[in-house]
Amino acid sequence: MSNSNSNSNSSLISAGDSGSSNGNESNWLKRHRELPIIVMVDPYSTACVIAQELQKRGYLIVALWTIGFAEEMKTHIPKSCGKMEYFGQIDQKPNSHSDTLLELLQVADGRTIYGCVAGGEAGVDYADAFSEYLEEERIRAGTSNDKILSNGTSIPNRRDKYIQQELCKQAGLRSVRQAGSDKFDEGVRAFLNTESFPVVLKPTESAGSDGVKLCYTFDDAKDHFETLMKGQLVNGGDCPSVLCQEFLEGTEYVIDNVSRDGVHKLCMIWVYDKRVANGANFVYFGMKPVDPTTPLASILINYVKRVLDAMEILHGPTHSEVMMTEDGPCLVEVNCRAHGGDGTFRPLAKALTGGYSQVEMAVDAFVDPLAFARTPDTPSYPYRAAGQEVIFVNKSTGIVKASPGYDVIKMMPSFLHMDGMISKGSTVDYTVDLVTGIGSVILMHKNPNVVQRDIDFVRYLEDINGFFVYETKLENLKRPRGDAVVKFKNVVGGKPPKSPHGSHRRNNTTGDFEMKHHQHVFSSDGPNLVRIMSNDRPELGGSGGMGMLTKRGTTVDSSREAVVLIDPYSTGCCVAEEIMKRGFSVIACGTLNYLAEVDERDTLAGTSQAMYDAAGTLRVVACLAGGEAGVDLADALSEHIEVRTNGTSIPNRRDKKVQQEIIRKHGLRSVRQAGGSDFADVKDFLQVEPFPVVLKPTESAGSDGVKLCHSFDEAEEHFRVLMNSQMVNGGDCPSVLCQEFLRGKEYVVDHVSRDGDHKTVMVWVYDKRPCHGSAFVYFGCVPVDSESLEAKIVIPYVRGVLDALEFKNGPSHGEVMMTPDGPCLVEMNCRAHGGDGNWRPLCNHLTGGYSQVEATVDAFLDKRQFSLIPNKPPSPFKASGQEVILVSFGRGVVKGTPGFEDIKQMQSFVYLETGVRPGSRVDYTVDLFTGIGSVILMHKDANVLEEDIRRIRDMEKNNQLFTFEKQAGYMKSPSIIGLDQIGSITSEAASNEIY
């Protein structure tokens, strides 16, 4: 209404002489005294934007704070408002409306009281009651003021969600099954005992996602009931009661209306973009505008109008949430005030409609009925622009050091407004509900392609964890392998017990025995692994599919000969098994059917004598390492008994520091490094080398202690951890190596050598990607064509390393980083490729009949057969395949593993290894300890392989590998702060609320 119309109104009630002009006032002050007053009850969030619009139209705003409204909430001014000042502020009086009115009249100072409206959820009930009282007083006083609009109190508490559903039921509208009370035993217990879980619990009077929770068990529901009754609502005031409702399944819509005199006009329809993410079923990705001209929209519009009629809502904005179920629309709740979120939706809505939003419509409804009448009943379509709210979904965790993603988003062409941003120093987690939200952005542009491109970029930022830079943390650089984690047990005074794939050795410093239990990292609860080999692939052959395509024999009478294996472990057990298949006896430690088991003695002579005693009449023809810890002894003992050996001319070729120094002398690219057993030995290096740096034990296997350290303090801490710990393969840590961090693609080159003739049996490349905030998550290990450019570079380099290290006999496992200035050794493992040899069937098929296991036995025991092995693998391979390392995108207690069953049915499936089973607890994969398994895939058709890999990656991202035991969770948008540690809420947190 124009100022001229409102100026003709007289005061509601005279304020006495204090309200009269003294004749000396300026014209401006006189006009100011004639401006009408609108009372806004608990102005908050979007209500502040509405108040500001009213001020622009010539109305003065008096804030009326209800009893119990949180003090910190009164000072909240949305960023969308900028500066906000009220003409006056008063508090609700506890005894009567007349006392409140008296204080209002004193503030009004003779000005007309034009209206009273709800400013926020907590103010709805009092706004209805006080506006009704003001209209009654206007009539009683006989003034000619315009009617004060009110929804009245014929429904005493229309905010109450229980009452809303009962009114819908009485009107013949679809409503939810429910029970509500302030006491658990009064109806709620009985409802929970009969209603199917999950159920929804919420305060009967709520705003945003204030306490709205999905509970899957009776105990969860009871606990949340008690929490709500003890807590406060986000808008202030105690929780009067709790509502328990059936869980509605379907698509959730938001319908924003504005009403005047019972005429309900649609402002906008939105639909929530909810998806499965991070192991949670209801993660909000955004809120999109809906075409209001569709049949679906018509159903929703008409349903909500009937709901508003049933609730006797005549005037003002409303924000209704409706679930479109299989049997039609069903009310979730009606919020009898404007759409929240600090009104950040307003510019987008105005662009979509061509000029108005719920804010302008609400003001028209209260003060300009002609303008309201001219507003369309529904927005015109197609919309004048494109846009939506995009809610950020975090896929990592850490302490925020910087937030470059926010800055990048602000530069996007469609950027309009961003809210709920996380500040520096905050700890963020994976987004699974409202509490773990990291903000939202409003995007809008005339070109829908621009909007979609920007949305895609936001999702890309999420995938690469580009929102935040975290405070540095230690990161494992090595891939999760089967020989990466071992538990230790000291047994004093005798021979320790045997264990599957295990070994023992004497601790030379204590005289005690150490037991090394093989515990795979893919096990979440110990070494009880699930290992499954395909039974539908007859071409795999052998027991359990681990055998060769053709059985190899030997050219000697193997029954009279024995082979010594030092510390057979992981793939070393596969080598032992292959040796025994060829008729040789094996002297070793473990549970295979060895001829004998011998403990290392204090001297080589003693050890060799014990070995000969065990061999008896058999001739010992070879001695080789069966695992990382056995390399040094195998070199020394084989040299001592004069069988094929690498010798001891290099006393400790396992030492990674020694390796780098030797290859540097031979002119090969090596890493900058320093090592020692005292921190002073590496201190100078750490003070000059750019961070991050890599720290590792000088003798290591798998991912044993290999860490990326981002600061001097972290490096010093990890140095001391390594020196105080034991390595996975046994023995104390003799020293620690600090190295430059090599950037590039990591390759693995597996060789088998005989008398210095190095034959490449396989080249692999690791599929490493950023994931869940970790820079180095392993997704797979992929074979590399031997004729590729990369292979032609790394193979000669690795053979040069082997020559430099004087490595002449046996298997080796070289890890090389392809840096911008060429290949550089990471480390040379002087034993077979680990991982329990689960890659063996794949290699056999890629090469057409051999792997590093068979080639190793040939190198020591069959000269002719070794000579027949190609110098490098065939190109192209005889089949297609790779190892797929499974990555968890969810967390929780595993109820079932349907994804594993799907994987086992894939055409390319060969082998699955995992420690996850029902009852296991899994987390997001960020390193070796959070790995969930490994799959070997192989097929002659590369297209079949690629499709199966794609399916596995889709199952991971959609959390289809596992079903989790249900856990209670908040249901509303993560861009909404609804319940902040119930009982306290900061003004900063409150400013992020979207109702």
- What does the block give as tokens for 3? 């100022």
Nearest CA to 825 among 752, 756, 738, 742? 742
Say if strands 113-118 and 37-41 run parallel, antiparallel, or are unpaired: parallel
> Rounded to whole angstroms, how far apart are CA atoms 363 and 343?
14
Instruction: Tell the burial category of 935 from Cβ atoms under 10 Å away from its Cβ (0-12, 13-18, 19+).
Output: buried
Poorest-confidence range of 479-483, 554-558, 566-570?
Answer: 479-483
Residues 356, 343: contact at Cβ < 8 Å?
no
- Domain segments of the chain as ranges: 37-141, 161-374, 388-470, 557-641, 662-852, 880-964
- H helices, E strands: number in the chain: 28, 43
SS (H, E, C) 768-812: EEEECCEEEEEEEEEECCCCCHHHHHHHHHHHHHHHHCCCCCEEE
Q: How confident is the model at residue 927 (pLDDT cuts 50, 70, 90)?
A: confident
Amino acid letter for position 254? V
Q: How confident is the model at residue 534 (pLDDT cuts 50, 70, 90)?
A: confident
> Rounded to whole angstroms, how far apart are CA atoms 865 and 861?
9
Residue 909 β-bridge partners: 937
> Rounded to whole angstroms, how far apart are CA atoms 568 and 547?
19
- Check residue 728 and give its pLDDT: 47
Helix (H) or strand (E) holding 865: helix 863-868
Q: Under the phi-then-psi rule, with left for phi > 0, alpha for psi from -120 to 50, and beta for the rest, what region is 3?
A: alpha
Poorest-confidence range of 243-252, 461-470, 724-733, 771-780?
Answer: 724-733
Bigger pLDDT: 464 or 944? 944
> Rounded to whole angstroms, how far apart are CA atoms 200 and 221?
8
Upstream peptide bond of 382 is cis (omega within 30 degrees of 0): yes
- What does the block give as tokens for 73? 């909430």
Please, what is the average pLDDT of the chain? 83
Per-residue pLDDT averaged across 858-878, rounded? 96
Helix (H) or strand (E) holding 175: none
Helix residue ranges per DSSP H, 617-751: 631-640, 656-665, 680-688, 712-723
Amino acid letter for position 914? T
Upstream peptide bond of 770 is cis (omega within 30 degrees of 0): no
Domain spanning 880-964, CATH architecture: Alpha-Beta Complex (3.90)
- Check residue 434 and give its pLDDT: 72
Coil, helix or strand at residue 256: strand
Q: What is the DSSP string of 259-293?
A: EETTEEEEEEEEEEEEEEETTEEEEEEEEEE--TT
Mention the CATH class of domain 388-470: alpha beta
In the predicted model, is pLDDT for residue 317 greater than 90? yes
> Rounded to whole angstroms, how far apart are CA atoms 953 and 887?
8
CATH topology match: 388-470 vs 880-964 = yes
In the predicted model, is pLDDT for residue 158 greater than 60? yes
- Check residue 596 and give its pLDDT: 77
Residues 816, 794: contact at Cβ < 8 Å?
yes
Bigger pLDDT: 487 or 185? 185
Amino acid letter for position 843? C
Beta-strand runs (E) in 392-529: 398-402, 415-419, 427-428, 440-445, 469-470, 475-476, 485-491, 503-506, 513-519
Instruction: Kindly report, residue by residue over 217-236, the tens digit of the pLDDT.
Output: 899 899 989 888 876 554 45
Q: How confident is the model at residue 278 (pLDDT cuts 50, 70, 90)?
A: confident
Poorest-confidence range of 179-193, 260-274, 551-565?
Answer: 551-565
Q: How confident is the model at residue 993 (pLDDT cuts 50, 70, 90)?
A: very low
Bigger pLDDT: 494 or 187? 187
Poorest-confidence range of 257-271, 320-334, 420-434, 633-647?
Answer: 420-434
SS (H, E, C) 212-234: CEEECCHHHHHHHHHHHHHCECC
Determine what percent of the chain is predicted with pLDDT higher than 90: 56
Per-residue pLDDT averaged across 715-723, rounded? 90
Q: How confident is the model at residue 771 (pLDDT cuts 50, 70, 90)?
A: confident
Bigger pLDDT: 958 or 969? 958
Determine what percent of the chain is predicted with pLDDT higher than 70: 82
In the predicted model, is pLDDT for residue 519 greater than 80? no
Q: How confident is the model at residue 523 (pLDDT cuts 50, 70, 90)?
A: very low
Poorest-confidence range of 123-137, 265-279, 400-414, 591-605?
Answer: 591-605
Sequence-ordered list of residues with C-beta below 8 angstroms from that of 788, at least 6 positions apart, any chain: none
- Check residue 774 and give its pLDDT: 78
Bigger pLDDT: 115 or 33? 115
Axis crossing angle, helix 358-367 with helix 46-56, rounded to the nearest 10: 50
Instruction: Kindly report, residue by residue over 653-692, the tens digit of the pLDDT.
Output: 888 889 999 999 999 999 998 999 999 999 999 999 999 8
Residues 973, 339: contact at Cβ < 8 Å?
no
Nearest CA to 899 among 855, 941, 955? 955
Amino acid letter for position 791? A
> Rounded to whole angstroms, how far apart are CA atoms 928 and 522?
8
Coil, helix or strand at residue 882: strand
In the predicted model, is pLDDT for residue 384 greater than 70? yes
- Check residue 477 and give its pLDDT: 62
- Check residue 538 and give its pLDDT: 65
In the predicted model, is pLDDT for residue 102 greater than 70? yes
Cα of 934 vs its chain's centroid, Å = 21
The yes or no reply on domain 161-374 and CATH 3.30.470.20 is yes
- Check residue 348 and give its pLDDT: 94
In the predicted model, is pLDDT for residue 536 greater than 90? no
Sequence-ordered list of residues with C-beta below 8 angstroms from that of 265, at least 6 positions apart, any chain: 257, 258, 259, 361, 372, 375, 376, 377, 378
Query: Could you give phi then psi for residue 267, rounded to 5 degrees?
Result: -90, -45
- Check residue 476 and give its pLDDT: 59
In the predicted model, is pLDDT for residue 510 greater than 90? no
Helix residue ranges per DSSP H, 724-762: none
- What does the block give as tokens for 370? 């002609």
- Check residue 760 and give its pLDDT: 98
Poorest-confidence range of 170-174, 208-212, 247-251, 537-541?
Answer: 208-212
> Rounded to whole angstroms, how far apart are CA atoms 711 and 722?
17
CA angle 591, 592, 598 (to 5 degrees): 70
- Check residue 698 and give its pLDDT: 77
Residues 250, 322: contact at Cβ < 8 Å?
no
Axis crossing angle, helix 852-861 with helix 571-581, rounded to the nearest 10: 50
Beta-strand runs (E) in 104-224: 113-118, 178-181, 199-203, 213-215
CATH superfamily, domain at 662-852: ATP-grasp fold, B domain (3.30.470.20)
In the predicted model, is pLDDT for residue 725 greater than 80? no
- Check residue 708 and give its pLDDT: 84
The yes or no reply on domain 37-141 and CATH 3.40.50 is yes
- Check residue 556 and give its pLDDT: 56
- Check residue 785 and give its pLDDT: 97
- What does the block give as tokens for 369? 């009925």
Q: What is the largest CA-CA distance in the chain?
A: 130
- Residue 551 half-sphere exposure toward CB, CA atoms < 13 A: 8
Beta-strand runs (E) in 897-958: 909-914, 921-922, 934-939
- Check residue 146 and give its pLDDT: 86
Q: How confident is the model at residue 647 (pLDDT cuts 50, 70, 90)?
A: very high
Beta-strand runs (E) in 80-197: 88-91, 113-118, 178-181
Q: How confident is the model at residue 732 (pLDDT cuts 50, 70, 90)?
A: low
In the predicted model, is pLDDT for residue 209 greater than 70? no
pTM beyond 0.95, yes or no: no
Q: Under the phi-then-psi rule, with left for phi > 0, alpha for psi from -120 to 50, and beta for the rest, what region is 825?
A: beta
> Rounded to whole angstroms, how far apart are CA atoms 938 and 883?
9
Q: How confident is the model at residue 507 (pLDDT cuts 50, 70, 90)?
A: very low
Per-residue pLDDT averaged across 14-40, rounded? 60
Sequence-ordered list of residues with C-beta below 8 angstroms from that of 421, at least 6 positions apart, any chain: 403, 406, 438, 439
Poorest-confidence range of 217-221, 465-469, 480-484, 893-897?
Answer: 480-484
